[in-house]
Amino acid sequence: MFSPSLRLSEGRIRSIGLIALSCGFFMVLLDSTVLNVALPSIEHTFGGSLESLQWTVNSYTLLFASLLLTGGALADSYGSRRIFCLGLLIFSVASLLCSFATSISLLIGARVLQGIGAAILVPASLSLITHLFSDAKERAKAVSIWAGIASLAVASGPLIGGILVDTFGWRSVFLVNVPFGGAAVLLTYLSIPPTPVQKRGLDLPGQILAIISCCALTYGLIEWGHVAPALIAASFGVALIAGGAFIMVEARSSQPMMPLSLLRSWDTSATLLIGLLYQFSFYGLLFVFALFFQNTYHFNAITTGLAFLPQTAVGSFLLLFVTGRLMRRMRSSTMIVLSMILASAGMLVILLGVHTTFPVVMSGEALIGVCVGFIVSPMTALVLVNTPKEQSGIASALLNAARQIGGVLGVALLGAALGNSATVAGMQSALLIMGGACMIGLLLSISLARRENARVATVPARMERELQPINID
């Protein structure tokens, strides 16, 4: 903590700590969206293929998704402050390596390190907020600020990326993380005291199998049509075997990474799948649009960033100022149904407008933006209301992991549908796949709404816990 001679109040010190925690979270989520507009410039520098660009995005998200649950266990076992700072250091050093990469392979390797750092620091940052703010009202306000800054990162990522790329080049997208990461580490040590340690077992076999299964599946999707069919079949086989082994390990483990009991609830399983499908479409759309806008519409990076605003800015505005109030008046499942209807309609509008005028595309983006703003909070609320209280943290992390895996699959499959030339025909193929994913999500959400209506009708006294959740986009 700061020396008393500096005469800073405890409130001021906590505010500095919150700035450090929010800065780390902002960097992680910014990197999830800022890179997309830089992809054509990276392709021009290294002369890579579409598959290499997909790996540049997915190498980060894969490790982020796969290690989120383990990151929480590390924070408990070794102290949240120590793990948060470790994650920040890994993320910052990896960002520096990205900025100096001399080949696409080195860039992908550095992105893997970034994903590891992100998975370590995100769970620890939320844990530190609970330690830093003991008063319930202050803690709720701090969490709202933390989540609001995260929402700002998602909204501003493409535009910030466009400005950096057109002004300083694509390497600046990574280099900008280094001073902010260093400052966040310093402020964390100065303002946040050491946190208590609670030893938890690490499910290393489960973790390794989860990574193998996700990586093998992603490899098969990205490299489909580019390598020998036998290799693709082998990758899918490895994914299936590792996935089955993962389920067996988790069923027998005394401290499983993913308690299978959570999946016995249809409501929980369906909500996790909706989260995966939503992120499949959202991240996939960001990826293919970034290439399509610059290769087909011939937008520069800044214009491409601006072109994303109807989707990202609308979603962030609604999440910050509207969704919480709406959740007090509507059931969670009803909001999810509404969100998936809007997403499906948005995909249809973009499909009709992609070969006509850009304003039509923007109107479709705006509809998807409303879905983005409305869907995440109700999904988290539904997962938590169907989960025992002592497992709420794992359930929330599982939803976030499912969403990140959806993003990985979206980039892999939709990038393949778009093709190297990013033509209108390829974009239409990708939009049809995304529209199909949204329709499946809509059917699942209708099932959830019907079950919720039946429960309310038979047990009118039951109250649903409507929480304002934390988003990891």
The average pLDDT across 133-149 equals 74
Please give the CATH superfamily to which domain 262-473 belongs.
MFS general substrate transporter like domains (1.20.1250.20)
Q: Would you state the pLDDT for residue 8? A: 57
The model's pLDDT over 53-78, given as tens digits with 9 standing for 90+, comes to 889 998 998 888 888 878 877 887 88
Q: Is the pLDDT of residue 150 over 90?
A: no
CB-based contacts of 276, cutoff 8 Å, min separation 6:
402, 403, 405, 406, 409
Q: Is the pLDDT of residue 6 over 60?
A: no
Rounded CA gap, 16 and 469, in Å? 23
CB atoms within 10 A of CB 163: 17
- Report the percentage of the chain scoring pLDDT > 90: 31
CB atoms within 10 A of CB 134: 9
7-195 is classed CATH 1.20.1250.20 = yes
- Report the percentage of the chain scoring pLDDT > 70: 91
Q: Would you state the pLDDT for residue 392? A: 66
Answer yes or no: same fold for 7-195 and 262-473: yes
Q: Would you state the pLDDT for residue 154? A: 78
The model's pLDDT over 346-380, given as tens digits with 9 standing for 90+, comes to 999 999 888 777 888 899 999 998 998 888 888 88
Top mean pLDDT of 154-158, 313-317, 341-345, 357-361 is at 341-345
User: pLDDT-derived band of residue 32, with 50, 70 and 90 as boundaries?
Assistant: confident
pTM of this structure: 0.84
Residue 126 or residue 210, greater confidence = 210
Residue 411 or residue 131, greater confidence = 411
User: pLDDT-derived band of residue 472, with 50, 70 and 90 as boundaries?
Assistant: very low
CB atoms within 10 A of CB 140: 12
Rounded CA gap, 354 and 362, in Å? 10
CB-based contacts of 9, cutoff 8 Å, min separation 6:
none
User: pLDDT-derived band of residue 393, with 50, 70 and 90 as boundaries?
Assistant: low
**Are the CB atoms for 83 and 74 separated by under 8 Å?**
yes
DSSP 391-404: GHHHHHHHHHHHHH
Q: Domain boundaries in the chain? A: 7-195, 204-256, 262-473
Q: Would you state the pLDDT for residue 343? A: 94
